[in-house]
Amino acid sequence: MKTVNVSGVKNNPSEALRMAHDDLVLVMNRNEPDALMIGLKSSKIIGLPGVREALPTALFRDGDLSLARSAKLADMPLAEFIAHISRLGIPAISQTAEEVQQDMDTLDQWLKQA
């Protein structure tokens, strides 16, 4: 296991990530353990059953990753990922009624011009 200070992660995050590719990295904050960095590929966590789908699904659901990037991370075509999240009750598009109305108005204007 390797260690790095929070300031080391802040000043050189690439180095901390490189270290995590080889081993576990304990992040210290004021001489106290604060976090643990784990390289997903080197630890083979990403290859465990369900992880490849669950991680991007959770990131998309929480609004931390776009739909397209989530599908790519899940190693699924976009349509397949949309079907996957739909089965889980996660909406692929989250809009207010006002935003939907604006989109419909824009579509109407575009169709009139065509």
Any idea what the CATH number is for the domain that residue 26 is in? 3.40.1620
13 within some domain: yes
Q: Are residues 83 and 55 in the same domain?
A: yes
105 within some domain: no
Q: Are 14 and 38 in contact (CB under 8 A)?
A: no
Q: Are residues 30 and 7 in the same domain?
A: yes
Q: Are 43 and 35 in contact (CB under 8 A)?
A: no
20 within some domain: yes
18 within some domain: yes
Instruction: Domain count for the chain, please give it.
Output: 2
75 within some domain: yes
Q: Structural domain of residue 56, as residue ranges?
A: 51-87
Q: Are 3 and 28 in contact (CB under 8 A)?
A: yes
43 within some domain: no
Assess whether pLDDT exceeds 80 at residue 57.
yes
24 within some domain: yes
pTM over 0.95: no
Assess whether pLDDT exceeds 80 at residue 9.
yes
Distance CA 60, CA 47 (A): 19
Give the relative orientation of helices 51-61 and 78-87 as an angle to the nearest 10 degrees.
80
Assess whether pLDDT exceeds 80 at residue 59.
yes
Q: What is the pLDDT of residues 78-106, one digit of tens each?
A: 999 999 999 999 999 888 899 999 999 99
pLDDT of 106 = 95
pLDDT of 40 = 83
pLDDT of 105 = 94
Q: How far is CA 38 from CA 23, 41, 95, 107, in A?
A: 7, 9, 35, 46
Would you place residue 58 in the very low, low, confident or very high pLDDT band (cuts 50, 70, 90)?
Answer: very high
Q: What is the pLDDT of residues 15-50, one digit of tens each?
A: 999 999 888 999 999 999 999 998 887 778 888 888
Q: Are residues 55 and 33 in the same domain?
A: no
93 within some domain: no
